[in-house]
Amino acid sequence: MPELTAAPTPGAPLPLTYEQDWFLAKTRTGGWAHKNVRLGFEILGELDADALLEAVRAFVTRHDALHLQLRPDPGPRPWQWTRPIGADEQVVEYRRVGAASPEQFSRYAAALLSRDTVTPWAYGEQRPFAIRLLRGEAGRHALLATFQNLVFDGRAHHLFGHEVWRDYEALRRGGSAADTAPSFAEAAARQRSGTGPERRERALASWRERLGFLARTPWIRPDGATATEDGTLRAELGADATAALRRTCEERRSTLLQWTVGTFVHALATRTGRTEVGLWTSMDSRPSRDRDVVGMFAGSCPLAVTDAAGEVGAVRDRVRAGLLDALRHQRLTAAETAELTRRAEAEHGAPVPRDLYVNLRRFEGAHTGARESGPLRITADAYPLRRITFADGHALHLRCSEYRDRLLIGLVYDGRRVGRPLARALLDDVLAAAAADARPAR
**Per-residue pLDDT tens for 92-148?**
999 999 999 999 999 999 999 999 999 988 888 899 999 999 999 889 999 999 999
Average pLDDT of every residue of the chain? 92
Amino acid at residue number 92:
V
**CA angle at 46 for the pair 40 and 51, rounded to the nearest 5°:** 70
CATH number of 196-366+383-437: 3.30.559.30
For the cut 70, the answer to whether the pLDDT of residue 370 exceeds it is no
For the cut 80, the answer to whether the pLDDT of residue 4 exceeds it is no
For the cut 90, the answer to whether the pLDDT of residue 59 exceeds it is yes
Q: Which H, E and C letters describe the chain, residue by residue?
A: CCCCCCCCCCCCCECCCHHHHHHHHHHHCCCCCCCCEEEEEEEECCCCHHHHHHHHHHHHHHCHHHHEEECCCCCCCCCEEECCCCCCCCCCEEEECCCCCHHHHHHHHHHHHHHHHCCCCCCCCCCCEEEEEEECCCCEEEEEEEECHHHCCHHHHHHHHHHHHHHHHHHHCCCCCCCCCCCHHHHHHHHHHCCCHHHHHHHHHHHHHHHHHHHHCCCCCCCCCCCCCCEEEEEEECHHHHHHHHHHHHHCCCCHHHHHHHHHHHHHHHHHCCCCEEEEEEEECCCHHHCCCCCCCEEEEEEEECCCCCCHHHHHHHHHHHHHHHHHCCCCCHHHHHHHHHHHHHHHCCCCCCCEEEEEEECCCCCCCEEEECCEEEECCCCCCCCCCCCCCCCEEEEEEEECCEEEEEEEECCCCCCHHHHHHHHHHHHHHHHHHCCCCC
For the cut 50, the answer to whether the pLDDT of residue 298 exceeds it is yes
Return the higher-pLDDT residue of 382 and 439.
382
Domain 18-189 and domain 196-366+383-437, same fold? Reply is yes
**438 φ, ψ to 5°?**
-80, 135
pTM of the full predicted structure?
0.91
CA pair distance 218, 246, nearest whole angstrom: 32
Residue-wise pLDDT for 342-357, tens only, equals: 999 999 999 999 999 9
Read off the pLDDT of each residue in 287-301 and give the average, rounded to a whole number. 95
Judge contact between 292 and 276, C-beta under 8 A. Answer: no
CA quadruple 44, 50, 53, 59: dihedral sign: negative
pLDDT over 70 percentage in the chain: 95
Sequence ranges of the domains in the chain: 18-189, 196-366+383-437
For the cut 70, the answer to whether the pLDDT of residue 6 exceeds it is no
Judge contact between 359 and 264, C-beta under 8 A. Answer: no
Annotate 316-325 with b (16+ C-beta within 10 A) or e (fewer).
Answer: bbbbbebbee
CA pair distance 283, 303, nearest whole angstrom: 11
Distance of CA 128 to the CA centre of its chain: 17
For the cut 60, the answer to whether the pLDDT of residue 207 exceeds it is yes
Which CATH class name applies to 18-189?
Answer: alpha beta
pLDDT at residue 12, rounded to an integer: 84
For the cut 90, the answer to whether the pLDDT of residue 415 exceeds it is yes
CA pair distance 131, 160, nearest whole angstrom: 12
